[in-house]
Every structure is written in C-alpha cells, then in structure tokens.
Amino acid sequence: MISDSRPILDILVVDDEPGFRNLLQWELEYRGMRVQTASNGVEALAKAATNAFDAIITDITMPEMDGLRFLENIKRRAPQTPVIIATGFGAIETAVYAIKEGAFDFVLKPYDLEYLISQVRQAVARVNERRAPGRTGHGQ
Amino acid sequence: MGSNGMSQRYCVLVIDDEAGLRDMLQFGLTDRGYRVVVAASGEEGLEKARHEKFDLVVTDIMMTGLDGVAVLKGIKEIQPQAEVIMATGYATLETAVESMKQGAYDYISKPYGLDQLCVLFDKAVERRHLKDQVGRLEELNRLKSEFLANMSHELRTPMNAIIGYASLMLDRLYGDLLPKQEQGLKRIETNARNLLQLINNILDLSKLSAGRMPTYIEPCDAKAIVEEVVATMASLAEERKLRLVTDVPAGITLNSDKTKLKQVLINLVGNAIKFTHEGTISIKVETLTGPARVRIFVQDTGIGIKDEDIALLFEEFKQLDASPTREYAGTGLGLSISKKIVELLGGAIRVKSAVGVGSTFIVTLPMQAPRPDDLPVAKPSGGCGTPLDKVILSIDDDPEVLSLLADNLQGTGYRFVGASNGQEGIALARQLHPHAITLDIMMPHLDGWSVLRLLKNDPQLRAIPVFIVSIMENKALGFSLGVTDYIVKPFDRQELISKLQACDKPPRTILVVDDDPDISRLLDEALHRDGYTVVMAANGQEAIRQMAARKPDVLLLDLMLPEVDGFEVLQHIENNPTLQGIRIFVMTAKNLTLKENTYLEQRVEMIVQKGSRDLTEVLDLLKTKLDAVKEVSA
C-alpha cells in the first residue's frame, strides 16, 4: 500500500483512560502515524522534553496534572507544537480558555475520528507553513 | 476613561440587532472616552469596517442575516489587527470554539456589565500592542539574520580565492619560488586564515545567538574525534614545546555533531596551549552512567584563572586581560562559542582552575545508547587505487572556484570539467556520465538544491555521487536529498581529494529482502560467489533492523512482504538521512499501479518484474546491473 510521500507524523496522545488511549493510538498508527502515549500531564511533559512531536492530543481531566495545566506548560516550552484538546467535559469557559492559551482545537468526546485526524493534519500543515522553507533536520 | 487612563481615544464598533443594547453601549462607552460606531446588522458592521479603522469590535452572534461568526471572519479579513469580542445570549460550545479558532479575543455571555467590557478592552488593546511589538522585532531580527547570511557569503568568497591561490603557489603549482616570495606567501596565507577564523567566529556567534545554527546529530566515535583534534593541534603544541597527551578508551560512542564537537575541542586545546608556558595538555574521556553521558576533560598546566574571573570566562567579547598591552591575543569569542555549541548539543561545560597550577575544562555530552548488535564496521579494503582519468564535473557560477578546483585536481588522475550554471551542468552530466559531481548551492536562476533534485530524479544520473561545495552547511537537508558528502569552502586540497577517493570503492554489502526462501537462497549463493557480502531479511521489519545495524551498499527489495511491506521500507529509508545513498533495486511479482510506478521511478534504480520471467533470468538482470554499478565506481 502506498502511503503518499508525506513525512511520518509523531503524535503524543495524553489520556488517563487506557481504553481511549489505546484505541486512538491504534487508529492513528493505522493511518501511518507514529504514536506515543502518556497517562497524565506530568508524564506527557517528560515525553515532550525528550521528543519532538508534530502534534499532541490531550484529555483535560487527569490525575497529577490536568490537560489545561499541561497546555500552559507545553506552550511555554514548545509554543510551536499544536495541541488539540479532546474532552468529555465541554464547558464553554474551558474551551475559550484553552484556545486563548494556544490550543489548536477543542473537540468533545465521543468525537468523529475522521474530523480529529483532519484537525491533526491541518495543525501540522499550519506549523509547516509558518516555518521558513528548508528543514534543519535533527536536533535543534 | 478606561481603567488605566487612556491617552488615546480607541475606536469601538458595536454590532447588535438589539437597539436598546446598542444605545446603552454607545452612551456608556462614549462616556468612558471611547469613540463608538454602531451597526444594527452584520452586513452594516462589515460595511462600516470597510470605511473606518477600529481598534475593538463587540459583536452579537445570533443575528438575522450574517451571524456573528461570519462577521468575525469578515472583520479579520478587512482589518486583521482589530480585536473582536463575541457577546451572546445563547452561548454554545460550537460557536465558542469556532469563534476562538477564528481569532476572536474573547467570548462572553449576555448580560455583561460595562465595567467588565472595559476591562476586556484594556486587555485586548494591551495584547495588540505587544503583538505589534513582537511583529516589529521579528521583522528586525529577520533582517539582521538575512544581512549576516549575505555578509557571510560576501566575506568568505574572496577569502576562498586568497587562501586557495596562496596555497597553490606555495605548493609550487605555478612554478618555483624565491625564498623571499615564499616567506611573503606564507604570511599572506597565515594572516588570511586568521582573518577567516575571525569571520567564522563572529558569524557562528550570531547564528548561535539567533538559534539558527544547524546541527547534524549522528553516532560518533570519541577516540576518532580526539585523534583528529590531536592531529590538528600537534604542530602548534610542538612549536610551544608542550606535550599533548590523550587518555581515551576505545568504543565510546557519542550522539553528537562531529564537526561542531571537534570545533569545541580544538578551541579548548588551542586555549590551553595559548595559556600554558611549559608542561602538558591532556585530553581525557570517560563515561558516566545514570543518564548515559560522556565527560571530556581538557587539562593544562598553564597560568590558571582567578576565581572571580571564572564567571566572566564564557561571556562574549570579554577578555580577562582587556588592557591594550595584554599578553594573550585573540578575540575572546572562542569560549563563549564553545559554551553555546555544547549547550546546543545537549551538554554542559564548566571549568576548574587554580592560579599558577592550571585549568581543566570539563565538557559533558549525551552518549549514544549502546546497541547490543553493534557490528564493527568493516574498513573499506582495496579499490582505492589511482583513478584513471575519471571525470569530475564541477558546477559553480564562480569562475574563480572552477579554476581553483581545476588546479587542485591537476596531477591526481581525475579529469576536470567545469559548468558555470545548473542547466549546463545537467547537460554535461548526461553527456559525460562523470565519476562524481561537485555542486555549488548559491547560484542564480537554478540553485544547487534544484540541480540536485534534477540529478536524483534522473534514473541515468541518480547513482553519480554528488558533493556539495558550499559556504553554507545544511547537512540534514543535503543528506535527505541524496548528497554523498560536503566540502565546505574554503576547501582543503587533501580533504577534497580524499573525499573524492572515498567514493571509489565498489559496492560490497548487499541486503536481500524477500519472504520467499527459495529466491533468497538463490540470490545469496549467486551473489556470494561474485564476492559480495550478503545479508538476508525475510520481512520489512527485519530489513529496517539490518540497515540500522549496518548500512548496505545495495538493497534488493521485494515489495510484497508480510507486516511491513516494501513501500514502507522505502519510506523509512527516505525519512532517515543516515540511509541515503543506498542503491535500491526492486523485485516484484505485483502488478504496479501508475501511482506506485511513478513513486518507484523516483526512488529506485531498477524495477524487476519477477512474475514475467523465470528466476535465472531475473538473476542475470540483477548481475548485469550490479556489474554496471561496479564499473562506474571502479
């Protein structure tokens, strides 16, 4: 099967519920992405510190560090990395706050998988657009 | 007045279909010092925005005609700098998310108080000012970087000619020299090199400060790097009658940028030599467990550094002795560059020193995680004899560089052919099928990267090794596009020739990837008989593992494989800069679609249809092709 010449995307999935995490990982990997997972914000920050992700999908309600604190932290350390919030907790204030803090999108669970994936691709395309032409490759 | 006393009257556009609310806002906001314009519908609001500039917009969402989200999009198109606040009596998650994604400043529910709105206004205006400032600074920074990049090229180009011709004359390529002439040329050469060093330092520092220094991280052997550093610095140490000793255990692999690490070590050793009058400079390497790290010590028996001076040591443009009569020359940039490079490579640098006893600089860097199946890489054996009239094609728009290259290749057995632009270069490549191509990047009309793409997309030219000869270094990009190696200007004659010779060795290792044991066995036997080292893999995953353990020269790849298929293996190679340059032959029994065929045409040297031929015929075809490859490089 040909997976067109788009580079393989590295995605971090953050959710405390293993079932959700595994399902999303499987769906993304099936579409040719490379996926790592974390079960809370602290773990996710640690993974983000040693890996460069093309996009991050995170839940909000999680132990240790919730998704909004994680968003604030990651935007300070890697402002370019798109973060998509996927949550069952759909308060309007939370959504407004998350996007103000730099989230690329706010998606309610249960979500439409195709929509979520199209948002991931859009987010990555936006980052690439902003970046100057010419990759600098490894290590930064 | 707004809560922090506005010195300027901000213009506010209020869009709402409710007359009472419009009047209230117009009255209340005017009273607080804003200039207010109202509109009763989305259409009217956009019309007003076309004719007048607004700092702030407050819009309702549920309106007949254009709704608030459409108004928001319209406003952002007409005046992107206006900050828009969405206000609605029917808040929904969908409109909230959509509004914020479209760039609204905030999303609030009705009813809201005037004070609450004015606080939002202040915040929005403040954010706008900050954004404008950031935009201006980014633009300035971009201009500065561009200026430096241009200067880099302009300053280094003439140095290239000065150093190049001086060393050719010193090599007696233009005839014999009188002793006085030789002395003069040596001075020109030394001083030109010093000046080049200074230019490089300043440019490095600006690039590091701007975060624009590209790195190429790969596994590198600590012992080999230290040996190269010692080879570079030995004569200088000898001149000063200093001993230069090393203590580096074999088998330590760093995960780092070889060139940059060498630059740091050369700098530290150079410094040690400069500040040591007698005794020993030693380089010691040890590994640390914990997180796996490598620690490199550069120790001297020099004058040492006072405690209070240590803090200043790594600062830019600070020399500890800044007096006009200072004893030690230099720009004071070396250590600050070294520190920034080490940090860029994920490490740290510190110093221990005692006045009159000596100093020790300690560099700590990430180590490559040891691989259990680490195979010792075979040394290329033989095949590097004298090349017989192999054509080297050089593509460069600078005639100085072309004639310099031509002179450098004199008497080496290579025949030089120059092309002054990309089109001419490609035409000559097709005609001459050269042994190797050297390529400049910055050329008018068709730049080096485009030429490279054309070369690598042409099945006839794909196999020719391409060397980038450039002032710029973008290794990751180059390797991912199939570059064999880099020669950075101003180049060194020995380096140029040894790099050209390195590609003379014929292919030796072949990785055969096929899930059919009969075919594998047959290929193994036949290729083994022809003197190749054959490695087998029965599926894609195994192939990827084998390539990581040892990069093969040639890959024979079946497309239909269990689990990870051939296309995915090709994709893996494409995404992995260290795997560039492998010659790829595809064998397949599959009927290829047009899309698949195009994909393969761009990436592999030959596609052999297995189904249509019997096995011995396939084997013959492969052997003919392999012989042809061998001939090109032999």
Nearest to B96 among A5, A96, A105 (CB): A96
Distance from CA of B623 to the nearest CA of A (A): 28
Q: List chain B residues with CB under 8 Å of A95.
A: 93, 96-97, 100
Euclidean distance between CA atoms B391 and B14, whole angstroms: 74
Q: By the CB < 8 Å criterion, does A92 face chain B?
A: yes
Q: List chain B residues with CB under 8 Å of A137.
A: 214, 216, 475-477, 480, 577
Indicate the average pLDDT of chain B: 82
Q: Measured between alpha carbons, how far apart are the two ends of chain A, in Å?
A: 33
Q: By the CB < 8 Å criterion, does A137 face chain B?
A: yes
Helix orientation angle between B114-170 and B399-408, rounded to the nearest 10 degrees: 50
Best probe of the A interface among B72, B83, B88, B93, by most A CBs < 10 A, is B93
Peptide bond into A110 cis (omega under 30): yes
Between residues B390 and B231, the one the model is more confident about: B231
pLDDT of B131 higher than 70: yes
How many residue pairs bridge chain A and chain B with CB atoms within 8 Å of each other?
A: 71
| pLDDT value of position B3 | 47
Nearest to B97 among A7, A99, A140 (CB): A99
Q: Do A139 and B92 touch (CB under 8 A)?
A: no
| pLDDT value of position B173 | 85
Q: List chain B residues with CB under 8 Å of A7.
A: 575
A2: closest chain B residue by CA: B567
What is the pairing mode between strands B348-354 and B358-366? Answer: antiparallel
Distance from CA of A94 to the nearest CA of B (A): 10
Question: Mean pLDDT: which of A104-108, A129-133, B424-428, B505-509 is highest?
Answer: A104-108
| pLDDT value of position B373 | 36
Euclidean distance between CA atoms B442 and B606, whole angstroms: 32
pLDDT in tens, B219-264: 889 999 999 899 889 888 999 999 999 999 988 888 888 888 999 9
> Which bin fits B103, alpha (ψ -120 to 50), beta or left (φ > 0)?
left
Two tokens, residue B362: 């300690």
User: Which of A42-46, B154-158, B234-238, B578-582 is least confident?
Assistant: B578-582
Residues in chain B: 634
pLDDT in tens, A54-76: 899 999 988 888 899 999 999 98
Q: Do A96 and B93 touch (CB under 8 A)?
A: no
pLDDT in tens, B533-560: 888 888 888 898 888 888 888 888 988 8
| pLDDT value of position B482 | 73
| pLDDT value of position B330 | 61
Q: By the CB < 8 Å criterion, does B486 face chain A?
A: no
**Contact indicator for B43, B65 with CB cutoff of 8 Å:** yes
Q: Do A137 and B257 touch (CB under 8 A)?
A: no
Per cent of chain B over pLDDT 90 is 27
Q: List chain B residues with CB under 8 Å of A71.
A: none
Beta-sheet strands, E only, within B89-194: 106-109
Between residues A3 and B421, the one the model is more confident about: B421
Nearest to B314, CA basis, from B331, B344, B335, B285: B335
Q: By the CB < 8 Å criterion, does B43 face chain A?
A: no
**Contact indicator for B68, B88 with CB cutoff of 8 Å:** yes
pLDDT of B191 higher than 50: yes
Helix orientation angle between A67-77 and A92-100, rounded to the nearest 10 degrees: 10
What is the pairing mode between strands A55-58 and A83-87? Answer: parallel
Distance from CA of B333 to the nearest CA of A (A): 22
Residue tagged 């709402």 (tokens)? B16
Q: What is the dihedral of CA B253, B546, B484, B248, to 10 degrees?
A: 10
Task: State the amino acid at position B624 in one-letter form.
Answer: T
Between residues B386 and B152, the one the model is more confident about: B152
Q: Do A3 and B346 touch (CB under 8 A)?
A: no
Nearest to B567 among A2, A7, A139 (CB): A2
Q: By the CB < 8 Å criterion, does B565 face chain A?
A: yes
Distance from CA of B205 to the nearest CA of A (A): 16
pLDDT of B372 higher than 90: no
Q: B120 to each of B3, B61, B101, B115, how far by Cα in Å? A: 10, 18, 18, 9
Number of C-beta neighbours around residue A26 at 10 A: 11
Euclidean distance between CA atoms B591 and B199, whole angstroms: 58
| pLDDT value of position A135 | 36
**Contact indicator for B554, B512 with CB cutoff of 8 Å:** no
Between residues B138 and B332, the one the model is more confident about: B138
Q: Do A135 and B346 touch (CB under 8 A)?
A: no
Distance from CA of B96 to the nearest CA of A (A): 6
User: What is the arithmetic mean of pLDDT over B412-439?
Assistant: 85
Distance from CA of A83 to the nearest CA of B (A): 13
Q: B491 to each of B166, B182, B341, B498, B562, how far by Cα in Å? A: 13, 21, 23, 12, 48
Two tokens, residue A18: 């293993």
Number of C-beta neighbours around residue B150 at 10 A: 10
**Per-residue confidence band for A44, with pLDDT thresholds at 50, 70 and 90:** very high
Best probe of the A interface among B92, B97, B588, B604, by most A CBs < 10 A, is B97
pLDDT of B45 higher than 90: yes
Euclidean distance between CA atoms B150 and B120, whole angstroms: 45
User: Which of A78-87, B13-22, B256-265, B580-589 is least confident?
Assistant: B580-589
User: What is the arithmetic mean of pLDDT over B432-449?
Assistant: 85
pLDDT of B615 higher than 80: no
Euclidean distance between CA atoms A88 and B154, whole angstroms: 58
Query: Which DSSP helix (H) or strand (E) runs through B229?
Result: helix B222-239
Q: Do A138 and B476 touch (CB under 8 A)?
A: yes
Q: By the CB < 8 Å criterion, does B591 face chain A?
A: no
Euclidean distance between CA atoms B626 and B607, whole angstroms: 13
User: Going by C-beta distance under 8 Å and a sequence separation of 6 or more, which residues neighbour residue B403?
Assistant: B418
DSSP state of B286: E
| pLDDT value of position B74 | 94
Using CA of residue B211, residue B216, residue B220, residue B223, what is the dihedral sign?
A: negative
pLDDT in tens, A111-125: 888 888 889 988 988
**Per-residue confidence band for B506, with pLDDT thresholds at 50, 70 and 90:** low
Two tokens, residue B98: 């959509």
Q: List chain A residues with CB under 8 Å of B567.
A: 1-3
Order of strands across the sheet that contains B83-88: B35-39, B11-15, B56-60, B83-88, B106-109
pLDDT in tens, B52-105: 999 999 999 999 889 999 999 999 999 999 999 999 988 888 899 999 999 999
Residue B415 three-state SS:
strand
**Per-residue confidence band for B36, with pLDDT thresholds at 50, 70 and 90:** very high
Using CA of residue A127, residue A131, residue A134, residue A140, what is the dihedral sign?
A: negative
Burial (Cβ within 10 Å: 0-12, 13-18, ≥19) of residue B211: exposed
Nearest to A135 among B101, B477, B596 (CB): B477
Between residues B457 and B25, the one the model is more confident about: B25
Nearest to B216 among A3, A108, A137 (CB): A137
| pLDDT value of position B375 | 32
Q: By the CB < 8 Å criterion, does B564 face chain A?
A: no
Number of C-beta neighbours around residue B175 at 10 A: 6
Indicate the average pLDDT of chain A: 83
| pLDDT value of position B426 | 87
Q: Provide ipTM, 2 decimals.
A: 0.80
Q: What is the dihedral of CA B436, B439, B445, B451, to 10 degrees?
A: 50
| pLDDT value of position B51 | 93
Residue tagged 């529910």 (tokens)? B109
A106: closest chain B residue by CA: B97
Residue B612 three-state SS:
coil
Euclidean distance between CA atoms B568 and A1, whole angstroms: 8
**Per-residue confidence band for B42, with pLDDT thresholds at 50, 70 and 90:** very high
Per cent of chain B over pLDDT 70 is 86
